[in-house]
Amino acid sequence: MRYASHHNFVGTPINGYVQNVCILTKAAATALSSAQKEFMSMSPAYTLKLYDCYRPTMAVHHFKSWAADVNDSLMMLEFYPDMNKSDIIPLGYILEKSGHSRGSTIDVTLVQYPPSPEEEYHPGNVLKPCYSSISERFGDNSIDMGTGFDCFDSRAHTDNTLITQQQRKNRQLLHDVLQRYGFYNYPLEWWHFSLQDEPYVDTYFNFLVSCNATMTVTTPALSDVGFV
């Protein structure tokens, strides 16, 4: 989970991410497992890699506070090199409420299996624009989707026409298989998918991202939580 680390657009671990674990509703986890089996049966085989799953509302508030601080541009050169920070919320990259907080939304990419090593990020590393060529941007070992994760740029829009034919094919592969198992895409972000028939359409949870989540929070909805 990128938001449990320093390698995200804020540059620090995000409020609520106690452990590096993906939490989803059982419905979303089951559908995702089916998609994973199909990707692994392909030749070449692929495996899904999740950047983010359930996101507590406290994390969304952290994002909004960060966006309001126009003096903080720590991670600008990688995640929003061509954008004024004040435009991030108006353009829809950070919303008032996040579907992630309902537990059936994922940020996801594809990695060819078996996976190659991933570049290790350390605070203070030289930042590379997220829309650079795959050989130049951060090496997160995914197949080439045209941009990195959380790239606040029009080239990250799912149907952007500036990317190459192969990059479009890679996005389409991810989209087609996930759609088959009930997920739909957010058009501003090629990596963002939500379960069409999600169980908690009006509930935004705020428990910690932790392996102990089901034991430390008492709510009927948590009987439907699964770990990936």
Q: Which residues are designated catalytic? A: 189
The torsion angles phi and psi of 25, rounded to 5 degrees, stand at -65, 155
Q: Are 91 and 186 in contact (CB under 8 A)?
A: no
Q: How many Cα neighbours within 13 Å face the side chain of 104?
A: 25
CB 84 within 8 A of CB 73: no
CB 209 within 8 A of CB 18: yes
E-strand ranges in 83-160 read: 105-112
The three-point CA angle 8-12-17 to 5° equals 85
